[in-house]
Amino acid sequence: MVAEQPPQRGGGTPRADEPGEALLSLIREPYVSEILAVLDDQPHSLTGLRRATGSPRRLAIAALRALAAHRAVAQEPAGGSWDTIDDERVRFRLTPTGRKLIEHVFQLDSWWSTYAMYPPFFE
């Protein structure tokens, strides 16, 4: 006997190409999607990311740490310490995992499934 799958949000069976809960949880974090969009163009320092996204320092660092935990961003030079995160020579870049993440994040279905729990601004 096969165990029954728990019901999924939206009531359907998830497709193989749909983002999982970990991805949805990640992109709900403040400034994660904005930082991904900026890094999609080129590597940036923390200051550059903050300037481009308008994020407060604390939230930008939290977003970078969350992305690093998912192996979506890396530091240049490689192996840099997170203690030197404010050093202007330290740049953050997308990894191949980060590039795949962007493919999911910037699809309309991902945005809908992420923010569908919020009521519309107008009806």
User: Which pLDDT tens digit goes with each residue over 71-113?
Assistant: 999 998 876 666 666 677 889 999 999 998 888 777 756 566 6
d(CA 27, CA 104): 10
List, in order of start, the domains of the chain with CATH numbers: 21-115 (1.10.10.10)
CB atoms inside a 10 Å sphere around CB 51: 12
CA atoms of 67 and 64, how far apart (whole Å): 5
Token code pair at residue 43: 């590597």
pTM as predicted: 0.69
User: pLDDT digit string (tens) for 64-82?
Assistant: 999 999 999 999 887 666 6
77: cis peptide before it, omega within 30°? yes
Q: For position 12, what pLDDT does the model report?
A: 44
Average pLDDT over residues 29-55: 94
